[in-house]
A and B are shown apart, each in its own frame.
Chain A
Amino acid sequence: MGAVIPARRSEAGLTLTEVTVVMIIGTMIMAGLVGFYLASQGLWLDASTQAITQREASLVASAIRDRVRSSSYAQAFSVPDSLHQQLALFSKLGDTVPSYYFWWDPSDSLIHAGPTIGGANSGPMVSSLAERFQVTTSNLKPAVRVDLRLRSATGSTVEVGTLAVFMN
């Protein structure tokens, strides 16, 4: 029968207390990391969607400005309410049929554009919902003022206003 050899310290493994302490510390660190990750992801998502909405607002303003410049006059109608209007642009003075429209569609809350309302080659300009699409025309000034407020996917709002002069 061989002699019993006492276990060396390095072979003794971990005590329950040591394992518990390590697990608690590990859990706290992991919880912190996951919390930071989720918060950062939310921040990034919010910033990203707002940046997209900002670009879309600029795109809408730029498109309207270009169309107004190539027009001679315009008419604005409140459809369906005073916060959302329809802009009808006419290529030449004396034209009775608009050559282009910008309007807010209540069925999808998006800003649409096209040569006819709801016809071919007409559709939403951007994917951000529009809370406000107001158009101001004046008989005294050959210009159109457009103010719009878009809402991003995470709920942030972006406002943009533009004024464009008829040059056709």
Chain B
Amino acid sequence: MALNLNERGFSLMEALTGATISVIAVLGLAHSFGVGRGLVNRYEVARAALGEAQSQLEALQLVPRSDATLAFGYNSPPTPFRYEGTDLGTSSWRVLPYDEPSLPGTRNLKLVVVTVRWTSSAQSDSVSLERLWVP
């Protein structure tokens, strides 16, 4: 009696091929988890940098508006950006003229831009916050 072809089951080669494909799929999945973990770490520093920029903008509120460090065109020297006791980068701000069409003049507002730059895991990153101030 001749056997039907679909009763022969899988050959070893078929089983090994299937297993190889499964292993590749699982490795891809595991890699995606690793990438996700790396992104969480990256944005941990980014959140800290955002907090640093917000604090810097807030601190500038205490500086008199007529101060030289808030004059048009001012670029502050970089100050260290630290996170968990480690210097990761620098923080600085600059003051730019801003033209609000509904106000008289062309340099009627100050655009204060705080930028925090850092390097983490050999990857450079930065975050900038802007705020408009009345001169």
- Taking Cβ atoms with an 8 Å cutoff, the residues of A that contact B are 8, 10-11, 22, 25, 29, 32-33, 36-37, 39-40, 43-44, 46-47, 50-51, 54, 57-58, 61, 65, 141-143, 145, 157-165
| B76 interfacial contact with A, CB 8 Å | no
Whether A32 pairs with B62 at a CB distance below 8 angstroms is no
Given contacts A22-B12, A162-B51, contact A141 B62 (CB under 8 A): yes
A49 → chain B, closest Cβ, in Å? 10
Decide: B44 and A44 in contact? CB cutoff 8 A: no
**Is there contact, CB below 8 Å, between B47 and A40?**
no
A40–B29 contact, CB under 8 A? yes
Residue B3 interfacial (CB < 8 Å): yes
Complex contact A143–B44 (CB within 8 A): no
Chain B: CB-nearest residue to A14: B9
Docked pose: A50 CA to B42 CA in angstroms: 12
Question: Do A11 and B40 have beta carbons less than 8 Å apart?
Answer: no
4 closest cross-chain pairs (CB), A and B? A163-B55, A47-B37, A40-B33, A47-B40
Provide the residues of chain A in CB contact with B55, threshold 8 Å.
Answer: 145, 161-163
Within 8 A of A (CB), among B1-39: 3, 8, 12, 15-16, 19, 22-23, 26-27, 29-30, 33-34, 36-37
Which of B3, B8, B47 makes the CB contact (< 8 A) with A57? Answer: B47
Interface residues of chain A: helix, strand, loop or mixed (majority) = helix
Contacts of B62 in A (CB 8 A): 141-143, 165
Complex CA gap A95/B33 in Å reads: 53
Closest to B31 in A: A40
CB of B26 within 8 A of CB of A37, answer yes
Contact B44 A163 (CB under 8 A): no
B2: nearest chain-A partner, CB-CB: A8
Residue contact B58 to A61, C-beta cutoff 8 Å: no
Which residues of chain B are within 8 angstroms of A57 by Cβ–Cβ distance? 47
Q: How many angstroms between the C-alpha atoms of A142 and B62 in the bound complex?
A: 8
Interfacial chain B residues near A165, Cβ < 8 Å = 58-59, 61-62
Question: What would 13 A/B residue contacts be, using CB atoms closer than 8 Å?
Answer: A25-B16, A25-B19, A32-B23, A33-B26, A40-B30, A43-B33, A43-B36, A51-B40, A58-B50, A145-B55, A159-B83, A164-B58, A165-B58
Inter-chain CA distance A160–B50, complex, in Å, is 10
Expressed in whole angstroms, the Cα–Cα distance for A22 and B14 within the complex equals 12
What's the Cα separation between A87 and B7 when bound, in Å?
77
